[in-house]
Each structure stands twice: as structure tokens, then as C-alpha cells.
Amino acid sequence: MRIRFAIVSLALVTCGISAPAQAAPAQAASSFASVVPVPVSAAPTSGVTYQITASTSVYSDVPTTGNLLAQQLRRATGYPVPIASTPPADGISLRLTGAPGGEEAYQLDVTASAITVSANQPAGLFYGVQTLRQLLPPAADSPTVQPGPWPVPGGRIVDQPRYAYRGAMLDVARHFFPVAAVERYLDQISLYKINVLHLHLSDDQGWRIVIDSWPRLATYGGSTAVGGDPGGSYTKAQYQEIVAYAAARNVTIIPEIDMPGHTNAALASYADLNCDGVAPPLYTGTDVGFSSLCVSKELTYTFVDQVLGELAAMTPGPYLHLGGDEASSTSATDYRTFMNRAQDLAHGKTVIGWHDIVNATPLPATIAQYWGTSTRNTAVANAGRKVIMSPASRTYLDMKYNRKTPLGQTWAGIIEVRDAYNWNPATFLSGLPASQVMGVEAPLWTETIRTSADIEYMAFPRLPAIAELGWSPQSTHDWTAFTSRLAAQGPRWHVMGVNYYHSTQISWPAGS
């Protein structure tokens, strides 16, 4: 999924966290034409506006979502924004009273006297609120009180996603990111209706989750990172905190333990996991393909079973990601033997693997994640299973925007915003039936990424482009219209303090 043609210099200039952002003018108007991802249907009502005032309250059939909205409005407006016990005649109501479409569908109605979000399930209410946030002036996302006013344009939006799986991936193995950094990213991606965060928890350079039955994985294998930077790992309590924080934002956490390759941190932690019984040194470089679990040892499968068992027990979501990529040090026969057996150790979870897993014998429910750069891969196209589309030449957020980008790599190509936006997940891989495309995911590998500011610089504005591919109908796909809507996000990111890349392909508003 991420072949390196050259070792990344550790002397790269990083994008430091920006100075505290000043809010854009609170009166800057948003509109139905500024929402990302673009809704299925948006019908503004001319001359109608709802004003959020000191008397506005919020009622919600899903308390978590109502509280998140009220808290954000309180921070930015300074108004009390109480939680109402019944739907207010003049206020905001989030109702599980049904909406056209499926589980994630919603309908948003704005009149002069009230705002109502209707949905079939809690997820739909949450997504309706994210659209409502984008209809408010950008200053409504400020972490501090702003002067207002707070108009919301009138009309109706009816919306539902194209794909059920809309993901982002964060590699916390090459560089470790603490809980607060992961939660910050969750706040940012959920605004654009991303519903999966895939955490790459282990690799050659670090092991990032405590496993009680194999404690040295975290204490020793997690002690370093690329370039000898500080390591780290999540306690079980911290991991569960991330899972809960994500769930409140309708994001499912998918943990990945990469195997049988990308395992040097584990092999260094326990000599017995090596075929020769000798532990290799910890690794802080960026090469790939040199490590492998010992396929012939029964202890290997005890290890896999116990690690996945502990991880499954604290992961309420339905998936475990077993990696399976770039296993160059594992023979084809051993790879098939290992991956076939490992799939049976997923403790009731559905297995996801990088698309290399089709070279084994995937279980009927196993999902392949396509990371190639080519539009042709017969093995994946003919595997007869669900596929998550993550073509590296379109979705890898660690690729540079241009040759001068101070962070990132180029092995999969140069990816500007237009490159991230102008492709169709349903037709990208030749021969793959559109019905087998489960969705899209935008991975961010972190060989050169050290801070939240670095994450933001590489993810924004490309992640919202990929989010739109996952959510919006293909019939709405229009680069020119997208650039206008994406530009409208700039002032919002400015007040949120997001360290985004000011792509020259986008006409960003002055001051954002």
C-alpha cells in the first residue's frame, strides 16, 4: 500500500501549528450552495432566514447529538442554548420521525420560526446537524464567543449517502499521536460525514496498543518511532476513550494489526516470534517488506489469537483489519497459509485486509481494501467480494500536493485537490462490478507527519474532496461547483484553527 522508492529525509521542514486563528466576520453568510459534501437535494426558500438568538433552545431525540450542537453554539455565540424537554415552537428540533432514504438519511427544514432535522436513525440526525453547522456563519465554529448575528438560510435539504463506508485512516505506528490529537481529527473528519476512522496500530517502527498477554509489545515495541522520535502507546482505557469519542460522532473505529509483514516492532519485543529465536533490533527507518512473522511456529498463531482477541473485546465495531500487504519476506505459500489461518482468529469480527489478501483464500465475508495505483487488477476485480477503494494515486493523503510540498512522499504520484476529486470509485478499477464497491477511504501514512498541524496540512482540503465522493451521488460530481463549495470551507477552517493547505486550484476568500 505504500512502497517507498527512497528513504524519507528526516530533515524535512514541517508545518508548525498556526498561531491562534482570528474569527472570520460572524456576519459572513453561508448558503445551500456551500455545503460539502453536496446534498442529494437542496431547495432554498428565497427571503426566509432563521435567526439563532439568546432565546434559542435545542431539543433532540438523541441527547448526545443535541448536546454536541448546543455546546458548540454556546461556545461561539455566548447564548445559553438550553436543552429543551419538548420540541420548541421557536428553536432547533432533532427528531427521529423519519426521512426519505436509509439509516443515514436526513431531512433539514429551516423556516423563519424553527429548524427541524428529521431522520430515521441517530446517524442521520448527526449528519443533518453537520449540514446545519455549514449553513451557519463560519464563526459559529469558533472556540470562543463571537459577536454574531447568526442567520440560517431557509429551505429544505433531503440527503443520504452514496456509500455506507466513508473512511479516513491514520497511521499512528510510524509516528505516535496522543488521544487528544486523534480526537481532534475525529472532530474534523466527522464534519464531512466520514463514518470510519481506521487506526493503523502496528508496524515495523512501533506498536501502539497495550496487549495484556504480550506486555512488551507496548513497553518495548512501542518505545520508538521513525527517525528515533518519541514513541508511545494507548492504554486500553485510552483506546476505549477514542472509541467512545468516535461513537458520539457516528464514527466507527477499525483497528489494524498489520501481519505477517510490517511486524518488526513485535519481532523485536519477543524473540520467540522469530523463526531463529533471535529478536531483531528496533527499527526507525522507512523501508518496507523486510519483516515477517514465523509462519511455521504454532506460537505465532497463539500470538495472533490473543492479540486479536483482546483488541476485539474492546472494539464494538464489526471489523478488524489484518493488513496483509507488502509481505515480501514471506513466501507466497507461507502467505496463503498464514492469512488463511489468521482470518479464522478474528473473534467474530469481519476481516478487512489490504487487497493483497486476495492472494490467499479470503473468507466469504472478508473485505479487500484496494491501495494500488493502477486501474487494472484482475485478481481484485474477479475476487467476488466487497472492496473499499483507496487507490494510492488518488486517496493517499501523505502524497505531496506538488514537488515543493515540505511534507509527504511522491511514490504514488503528486496529488492536488483536483486529482483527489476527479475519479469515480464505481469505475476506477476495471472489471470490478460497481455493486461490489463498499465505499472509499483516505489513508494518511505518517513517515513525515509528526503533529496535528501536519495531519491537517495534508488532509485538508483533500479529505473533503474524497468525502464528497463517498457521500454524494455521482450525478452531482462537478469540479467547478465543488471548488466554489470547498472555498467556502476556508473561513470555517480559519476559525477552527485548521492548518490547511491553500491550494492554488481553489479561490479561497480573503482572510481565510
**Alpha-carbon torsion (62, 63, 66, 69), positive or negative:** negative
For residue 54, the one-letter residue type is A
Judged by DSSP in three states, 222 sits in coil
Q: Yes or no: say if 60 and 83 are a contact pair by the CB < 8 Å rule.
A: yes
The secondary structure of the chain in percent helix, strand, coil, rounded to multiples of 5, reads 30, 20, 50
First to last CA, the chain: 34
Q: How far apart are CA 130 and CA 149, in angstroms?
A: 19
Choose the catalytic residue: 104, 326, 456, 468.
326
Task: Provide the pairing of β-strand 367-370 with 350-354.
Answer: parallel
Active site residue 241: no
Closest CA relative to residue 281, chosen from 201, 200, 202, 205: 205
Q: How far apart are CA 280 and CA 282, in angstroms?
A: 7
Strands (DSSP E) along 355-462, which ranges? 367-370, 387-389, 437-444
Judged by DSSP in three states, 15 sits in coil
Closest CA relative to residue 362, chosen from 322, 331, 318: 322
Strands (DSSP E) along 160-302, which ranges? 165-171, 196-200, 202-203, 206-207, 252-259
Strand partners, 328: none
Catalytic (active-site) positions: 326
